[in-house]
Every structure is written in C-alpha cells, then in structure tokens.
Amino acid sequence: MSTLLVIAKAPVAGRVKTRLTPHFTPEQAAELARGALQDTLKAVLEAPAERRVLVLDGRPGSWVPEGIEVLPQCAGGLDARLAAAFSHVDGPALLIGMDTPQVTPSLLAQGLDFSETDAWFGPADDGGFWALGLAESDPALLVGVPMSVAHTGRELRRRLTASGRAVRDLPELCDVDTPADAAQVASAFPATRFATLHGGLSAVTR
C-alpha cells in the first residue's frame, strides 16, 4: 500500500512560520501557513496514493479535507518526529512537509514510483529537503540527521546512498520559510491558494 505522509504544524498564530514575522503579523503568518497546507493537501488528494496521512503537531481544523487521515506527531526533535512518521507506514511511502505549496500531484506521483529506484530525494534550495520517498520504511535512517542547517539535505542523501539504496532526485523546490521565499513562490505559482493569500496580505502590509 503506497502512502503519502505530510508532516505539519496546525496553523496557529505564534506557532507557525515565525520567520515570516515581523514582515507579517503572527496572525498573517498563520494564514499563509494554512494556505500552504491546504494547497499541499489538495495535491496529496489528487495524487495516486492508497493512503494519505497528515502527521500533525496540534489540533486539526476545518482546513483538513475529507480523505486525509490525521495522526499526532510524537515528541522530540524534528529528526525523531520524521522517523516516527515513517513508523506508521507499511509499504512504500513519500514524506513531504507543508512548506511547498507549489507541489503538484504529478511530482508526488513521481516520488511514489519505486519501479526503478529504492528511494527518492527532493532537495530544497536552502540546503534541506522537501521530500523523502522510501520503497521500504526505515525510521532509523532519519534519527540523528541534523535538521534546519545548510547541510541537512546533503547528510540525508549521503545516508541514503551509504545504506546501499538506489537513489533518484526529484526537482529542487523552494521552501517557504522567509518573506523572500514567500514572495518568490507566490509570484511563480499565482494559481495557488497561498499566492492569493500572499497577494492580499502583502497589499495590507505595504
């Protein structure tokens, strides 16, 4: 059974996208986070997975559409929480976050195709990663990977190849972490809910 995992925080002011402040207020940053998460979950629903799971830090709200299973995140650092997300899986899985509202169903479908590879790695332009696909779940692979640093992605990909897996790369995407990231993604992908929200909020904050 193929699974799409989305690891995310509930879009609560002061708890998400804090690096978007002070350019945006905490409430506006939470709005943008909600928009990004809704765009992400829409793509997940349209992708060819048999199971779709939101691994959530916080309480789910009306922004979770039907067809998405919600499980709580465990305690601990991000490496432990990502590892725990894979522990819910039996079979091939692709894990993504909530920071890439530009993700498409076709990209997700690519990352779920393990016919010619054991793993998929989706690099982010900040040195991290936006996607990790494994033909066979291995939570231990993520434990101890340094998170939120410039070499996070490089270390994870090194671990993948060192484990003997055949690894293929997905296209590099921009993670939305900073106001500049948000402007870049909103400009490049104007059809997203995220871009619409960003345009309205940017007009207000000028």
Strands 129-134 and 119-123 turn out to be antiparallel
Which tokens sit at 110?
Answer: 């690519």
Range list of β-strands (E), the chain: 3-9, 51-57, 69-72, 93-96, 119-123, 129-134, 167-169
Question: How many Cα atoms occupy the beta-carbon half-sphere of 43 within 13 Å?
Answer: 26
Higher-confidence residue of 202 and 185: namely: 185
Domains of the chain: 3-205 (3.90.550.10)
Entry pTM: 0.95
- What pLDDT, on a 0 to 100 scale, did the predictor assign at position 140? 87
Which tokens sit at 120?
Answer: 């998929």
- What pLDDT, on a 0 to 100 scale, did the predictor assign at position 15? 94
Q: State the chain's mean pLDDT as an integer.
A: 95
Instruction: Indicate the helix (H) or strand (E) that contains 23.
Output: none
- What pLDDT, on a 0 to 100 scale, did the predictor assign at position 176? 96
Write out pLDDT tens, residues 162-181: 999 999 999 999 999 999 99
Cα(157)–Cα(159) distance, rounded to whole angstroms? Answer: 5
